[in-house]
Amino acid sequence: MTTVPSPARKTSAVPSIHIQAFDAPLGAEVRGLDLSQPPSDEQFAPIVRAHLDHHVVVFRDQRITPEQQIAFSRRFGPLQIHVLRQFQLAGHPEILVVSNIKENGQPIGLGDAGHYWHSDLSYKEKPSLGSMLLAQELPEEGGDTLFANMHLAYETLPADLLKAIEGRRAEHSYLAKYEELRQRSPWRPALTAEQIAEVQPVDHPIVRTHPGNGRKALFVGEHFTTRIVGLPDDESRELLDRLFAHSARPEHIYRHHWQAHDMVFWDNRSVIHLAAGCPDHMRRRLNRTTIEGDAPA
């Protein structure tokens, strides 16, 4: 266990924060922090470092308000508003409700979020730096979230695949699987023309360099990545399928088993994630904030 003591102040002692790395290809737990109290600068610095080093950090038993989640998220950068505004938390547009619950016959949140491997908002010109997901109501069975380390995925690419993608870019589109999902679930409303205009396809490097830790990572995911720019469709499809399969190899994955009031903060520049799902009759609700990053390079 790595212990990161905070420097002592003359007026009062700052509680120490402990970073406990998981026995997994990524992930760590941050101990000794109650996010209902804004972290001091001395406490905040090791959180940033842990996020860069471990890519997924878990804060246990965080009984915080939406306002407190938003305020903590903003410490990392501007927040992004999801295009599905009908699933915003009332009064808090910065929070996307992720839930399979219906009230008065209508879904209160996005119930099929994470159905495919993806990095949040990779379809934007400035994809997400990271996402914070706070558990509000958890099912008795299932509901796990899987994270795959895209630095490891890049570093273990077969030589021929590495050569094939060198210097190439891929297109990302929010609409890639939208209609397919609409056909199988009640969670995807028809998009307006204004919403479609917000999510025009973009292209990004297939391999990006993380601006915070300097490491290279694959930046593709089966949900939003549609094609490799400049290649014939069949060749593009074959390469993407190989990249998707390689990224999700078991040795790259950490599986998060949610506990009550967990808040999980993951780095969308370093990982892709997948929702494992839960039985339809069991209620699940979480609140998500998403932090804006920069254009991948």
Calpha distance 122→208 (Å, rounded): 12
SS3 state at 222: coil
User: Is residue 288 annotated as a catalytic residue, yes or no?
Assistant: yes
Token pair listed for 76: 């990392």
Q: Which residues pair with 297 in a beta bridge?
A: none
Of 53, 112, 120, 262, catalytic: 120
In 3D space, the residue among 225, 228, 117 whose CA is nearest the CA of residue 165 turns out to be 228
CA-based torsion, 213, 215, 220, 221: positive or negative:
negative
Catalytic-role residue among 115, 252, 273, 285: 273
**Residues 55, 266 contacting (CB under 8 angstroms):** yes
Residue among 51, 54, 82, 118 flagged as catalytic: 118
Residue 92 among the catalytic residues: no
Specify the amino acid at residue 135: A
Segments in the chain forming alpha helices (H):
41-54, 66-74, 150-155, 159-165, 178-184, 193-198, 233-247
Please say if 82 is a catalytic residue.
no
Determine whether 256 is an active site residue.
no
Structure tokens at 91: 């009064």
Q: Residues with catalytic annotation?
A: 118, 120, 273, 288
